[in-house]
Each structure stands twice: as structure tokens, then as C-alpha cells.
Amino acid sequence: MESQKQQDPLLSQLQERLSAVSYEQVLQDPNFETPHDAQFKVIIIGDSGVGKSCLMQRLTQSAFKSDHQITIGVEFGSFMLKLDSRTIIKLQIWDTAGQEQFRSITKLFYKNSHAAVVVYDVSKRDTFEDVGGWLEEIEDNRDQENMMVYLVGNRIDLGDDVRQVSYSEALRLQKEKRLDNLFETSAKTGLNVVELFVALTKHLYLNNKSKLDQFREKDEDLGMSQLQPQQDKYESNRGQSLMLKSNPSRAGNSKDKKKKKGGCC
């Protein structure tokens, strides 16, 4: 099975755009309490057993479990990227159950999601064939107009002998369905896992940057100094497409004090 990566011009262009957004570091957020400036909700979907929970575990704990502990309903995780001293972007990630019996629960989590990561297993053709069904599920349940979709082929550590879905085939699907990006990953070795979520964070940031800038301008013009209560981490983002949060850790200078108040644009 051919796995040779073709250079796709559009994906290469996107890669260049994303590379232009530099970042200082990935931040750990074990208690989901680290202050941040903007938050995006991301949902991980795909057939049972493709490695959704392992991808999340690799991302948030740098670990891998070899047994399949079926996700019941949903599990929550977070990922934070510090772009610069005034911009920390957080992904609120919902790892959903792939099993059909939990579909009525997982459907609820598309609400307010800014992005979906649709995972298939490169060594199981049926999981790739089911991607179309997952995309329909997104269409039926999303409420954000510009919800982004990343296609992810996991388990590439298994090698070409067992591969049943080539990269070029996945690329065709990504183009045909106009999906925002395509990655091949291994939750087992960690290959491309952080890269995938860094790219997604930067992409969400770029697509919403003008709103973030507008919010900051308004904030400074109004000179607001009241700290609004932080939204609960599980609270929905009130139907807004971008959730901006206060950042109490950076109350040092007057400019930052103004930024403390948080709120939504």
C-alpha cells in the first residue's frame, strides 16, 4: 500500500501561513485553571477504536495506553499555546465515544464547537469509509457557521504492510470535502500529535484574530477596569464564536490591568 506523501500546493500554502505564526511554548494545564486570552472548543470524533482517546492522552499526558478502554460518553482535556506574552490560546477538547450507543450524548457536544478533529485508522479501511458519515453528523449538529474540520489518519506506526488507506486517498477526500487540513499521526509514538494541535490552535487563532484584536482595541478604548467573573470551564460560550477570558496572572501594568476584565466579542 502506497503511503508516499504528495506535496499538495494548497496544504503547503496553509503550512506556510501557519508557520508564520510563531509561538513561545506549549503550556501544561493539568487543573484546567491556567489563565488564557481566548478559548476554542474542539470535538474529537470518529469510529470506536481509531485512537481518539489515545491521541488526547498523548497530547495532554505524553502517555500511551495499549488497551482499548472504550470511552463512555465524553472525556475532557485541554491544550494551551502561548504565542507571546499577551496571547495564550486554549483549546477545550472533548474526546467523544465512537460507539453508536453513545451517539445521543455525543451529539450534544457539537454545540458551540469551533473545530472537529475527525479520526480514522489508516490500517482499517472501514473507519475511513465512515468518515463521510461523521461529516454528515457534523453538518446535522453543528451550530457554528465556520466550524473547521481536520482529517486525521491515526496509527501510522503500524507501517505500510498493514496500511489500508494511502495518504493520497485521504488527500483526495480532504480536497473533495473541502476539509481544512489533513494529518497522519501515531498516538503510540507521538508522531505529529502535538504538531496537529499546534496547527489547529494557530489556524483557529488566525481565523479569529480580527475579533481578538477588535476586542482588545475596544477594551483599551473603553478603559474598562472591572474584572468580570470568569466563565466556568464547562459553561458554553454563550453562542459566541470566540470566547475571551480574563488573565489575572498578568495584572502587572496598567495595559494588562485593562485586559484583566475578559468577556466576549
Ligand X SMILES: Nc1nc2c(ncn2[C@@H]2O[C@H](COP(=O)(O)OP(=O)(O)OP(=O)(O)O)[C@@H](O)[C@H]2O)c(=O)[nH]1
Amino acid found at 159: G
Size of the site for ligand X (CB under 6 A): 24
Which of 2, 67, 140, 176 binds ligand X (CB under 6 A)? It is 67
Is 171 a binder of ligand X (CB under 6 A)? no
Q: How far is the CB of 66 from Mg ion (least distance, A)?
A: 14
Is 70 a binder of ligand X (CB under 6 A)? yes
For ligand X, the closer of residues 50 and 204 by Cβ is 50
Is 50 a binder of ligand X (CB under 6 A)? yes
Which of 39, 60, 71, 174 binds ligand X (CB under 6 A)? It is 71
Nine-digit cell at 92? 477545550
Q: Around Cβ 249, how many Cβ atoms within 10 Å?
A: 12
The torsion defined by the Cα of 59, 17, 22 and 31, in degrees rounded to 10, comes to: -30
Q: Buried (b) or exposed (e) across 66-101, using 16+ Cβ within 10 A?
A: eeeeebeebbebbbbbbbeeebbbbbbbbbbbbeee
* Binding-site partner at residue 54 among Mg ion, ligand X, none, CB < 5 to 8 Å by type: ligand X
Write the CB contacts of 239 (distance below 8 Å, at least 6 apart in sequence).
Answer: 112, 143
| Residues near ligand X (CB under 6 A) | 48-54, 65-71, 97-99, 154-155, 157-158, 186-188
Note the residues at the interface with Mg ion (CB under 5 A): 52-53, 71
